[in-house]
Amino acid sequence: MTAVRGQGSPVVQLATGRLRGRQEEGIAVFRGVPYAAPPVAELRWRAARPHPGWNGTRDATSYGPSAPQMFTEGGDPVLGGHGSPPFDDDCLTLNVWTPAPDEARRPVLVWIHGGGFVSGSGSLPVYSGETFARDGDLVVVTLNYRLGPLGYLSFDDEEGTPDQPSNLWLTDQLAALRWVHENIDRFGGDPANVTVAGQSGGAVSTAALAGHPEARQLLRRVILQSPPFGLYAPTRAEYRERVDAYLRCAGVADVGELRRLPWERLVGAAGGLFAHTARWGHWPTPFLPVRDGVTLDRHPAQTLLEDAAADIDVLIGWTREEANFAFALDPAYAAATREQVLGRIALGFGEAAAPDVYAAYTCSRPGAGPAEVLMDLITDELFRVPSLRLAEARAELGRPVWAYQFDFPAPAYGGRLGAAHCLELPFVFDNFERWGHAPLVAGIEPTVGAGLARSMHQAWIAFARTGDPNHTDLPRWDRYRTGARTTMRFDSVTLPVDDLAGHARRLHGRRLPARE
């Protein structure tokens, strides 16, 4: 027996020790389960290592601490916050929701949160797996992993190890996926039927896992929500400048000094790196995935086109106005001039083409001013066009891929946010009651929101169960193919559209060659 009952609570025996969870409205929940050794002291800035286990029965009814990150009391004007205390270095835990810890071998959904590589937590109520477990008969796993300087920087240290990975965050996620493979059957899950899903930075993580030689054997399909594949993935040598800049921001000379600092000092120094790397008209991303030749050989998007990863089922999509999330409420960007935006366009298209590209954007959105053109440009560069290119490339290879665009606009702030980055999340999880703190969802009409949430939530469930997102309450959703380019348009009326983002695809075909 791998699961027993104890004092009315579900109990599961793992190789590392026994866990006692909690029964919540028919769902068994196990929180704060360690999946790797605490990355503290000498293990700080080292790859994730196996957890040594524990004696007796471990209480698994409370979330573990979230990864250290910046935190502002009162949150932000869009999400209302994306991480909350407690925070701690010892953060490598995961959470499991299951209809029952039995031998049913249910499909497994692993969720990787986003947050620009600097924020977020698998312990946030908005990412609770209960709706997927209950509505889809799935076993759901969410996880915490190292963020910001603790997860996205690495240092040459006294050992001089040549294969020290740069992407410590990826070693965490790989350790969690390995834990799922080895243990999820004890929670009623099927380790041979695992879907990994992620949004924003979490979608980049998901793609990186799909291309990792070990991880690709541990998952069957992926869901990529708003992946910022337009970000450049530097080499270790190219990233060195940021590592050195961070050391200066922290006021130390080497990693030995950093290991002696409290995490609060480390997170505080990240603010200096934000300032150091900021560029007008670009999404702020001081920390990036690195092509280190150890954990990541190529850009994460490329990993889904090569070797065994090409056979993984892929669902990919974006929101219509992704960049509004970061720019629409900023007065400095609202006051952007045509000349400023032309200069930003010229970075990708060249000065000669910039006026024509500007005109093309104003034609695609009548009445658009410089700020709207800029936001559409950033949306295309960072999210929509790179996602389209991945869908196109997989379609040309004959590999399975489904594409969507989320078009439903947020009424908040007089509609200025539009269909912004992150807005699809409460619809995918179908848990609006957990989003009351987020201004982003304020004013959404309940009946419209419920219908759209049902369509998306059930599509994600169907895909996790079978590799096909179609279900009875959704119009027929065909795979993306170069001949038809079917893209599901999720809105108050949801319909498949042929080549929905064709304007952006054709326009950005004129861009200057990229660095990579």
The mean per-residue pLDDT over the stretch 288-312 comes to 90
Nearest to 67 by CA among 166, 168, 162: 168
DSSP code at position 380:
I
| pLDDT > 70 in the chain, percent | 96
Per-residue confidence band for 501, with pLDDT thresholds at 50, 70 and 90: very high
The mean per-residue pLDDT over the stretch 146-162 comes to 77
Active-site position among 128, 154, 166, 200: 200
State which amino acid sits at residue 142: T
The mean per-residue pLDDT over the stretch 174-193 comes to 98
The mean per-residue pLDDT over the stretch 234-242 comes to 95
Active-site position among 299, 421, 457, 471: 421
Is 455 noted as a catalytic residue in this protein?
Answer: no
C-alpha to C-alpha distances, 417 to 91, 156, 358, 421, 442, nearest whole angstrom: 33, 43, 21, 9, 11
* Cα angle for residues 357, 363, 366 (degrees, 5° grid): 135
Cβ contact 441:448 at 8 Å: no
Domains for the chain: give ranges and CATH numbers.
Answer: 3-155+164-311 (3.40.50.1820), 317-510 (3.40.50.1820)
Asked if pLDDT for residue 445 goes beyond 60, the answer is: yes
Is 322 noted as a catalytic residue in this protein?
Answer: yes
Asked if pLDDT for residue 336 goes beyond 50, the answer is: yes
Q: Residue 421 phi/psi, 5° resolution?
A: -45, 135
Angle subtended by helix axes 370-379 and 338-349, to nearest 10 = 20
DSSP code at position 170:
H
Active-site position among 51, 119, 321, 322: 322
pLDDT tens digits, one per residue of 353-409? 999 999 999 998 888 999 999 999 999 999 999 999 999 999 999 999 999 999 999
Is 421 noted as a catalytic residue in this protein?
Answer: yes
